[in-house]
């Protein structure tokens, strides 16, 4: 019952914030992108490794890639080498709290890549309120507010396939 209430309150407050949230959006190619943000659920070390490899593959001397992760445990991760937040940094409404999260949301990335396939209210919150110019995420009909472009993958295809598709799509834009 409490989880249901938390989820309802999360949706209510997020919709309320989105009414006043009007960042400038637009399509941008990978060649034009100077700053890219990636958000992920770092609870699974395999996913974290794949996203790190993906980030390294798109990073260039002229393109900065920043990662923000959610670690779904009550204590902070000791093995992550990028900014992250954890379960105790969520308020009752499942919204992430803290300076690092606010800084990431306010940063005007050229592209924001939502590198999480499962439902994650804290990461959806960041994606929805991001100041990023162009947001890419997995296809979910009930999460249209999180992405400008959604990539549809089958249930049996994992994060590695999804990231391949994101990369292919971004390099395809001229």
CB burial of residue 156 (10 Å; 0-12, 13-18, 19+): exposed
- Report d(CA 137, CA 103) in Å as an integer: 20
| pLDDT reported for residue 115 | 95
For residue range 103-155, what is the model confidence (pLDDT) as tens digits?
999 999 999 999 999 999 999 999 999 999 999 999 988 888 899 999 998 87
For residue range 18-39, what is the model confidence (pLDDT) as tens digits?
888 787 888 888 999 999 999 9
Integer Rg of the chain from CA: 15
Compute the 3-state secondary structure of the chain and give helix, strand, coil in percent, each to the nearest 5. 40, 20, 40
- Report d(CA 125, CA 37) in Å as an integer: 15
CA distances to 93, 114, 117 from 160, in Å? 31, 13, 11
Answer yes or no: are the C-beta atoms of 85 and 101 closer than 8 Å: yes
Domain-wise residue ranges, the chain: 2-172
Write out the CATH class of domain 2-172: alpha beta
pTM score, whole prediction? 0.91
């Amino acid at each position: 019952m409490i989880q249901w209430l938390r989820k309802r309150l999360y949706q209510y407050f997020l919709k309320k914030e989105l009414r006043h949230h009007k960042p400038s959006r637009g399509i941008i190619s990978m060649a034009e992108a100077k700053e890219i943000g990636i958000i992920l659920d770092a609870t699974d070390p395999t996913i974290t490794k794949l996203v790190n490899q993906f980030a390294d593959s798109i990073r260039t001397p002229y393109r900065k890639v920043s990662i923000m992760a959610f670690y779904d445990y009550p204590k902070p991760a000791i093995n992550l080498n990028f900014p992250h937040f954890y379960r105790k940094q969520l308020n009752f409404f499942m919204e992430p709290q803290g300076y690092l999260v606010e800084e990431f949301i306010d940063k005007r990335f050229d592209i924001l890549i939502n590198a999480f396939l499962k439902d994650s209210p804290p990461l959806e919150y960041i994606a929805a309120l991001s100041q990023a110019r162009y947001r890419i995420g997995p296809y979910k009909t009930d999460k249209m507010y999180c992405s400008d472009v959604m990539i549809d993958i089958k249930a049996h295809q994992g994060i590695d396939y999804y990231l391949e598709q994101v990369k292919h799509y971004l390099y395809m834009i001229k």
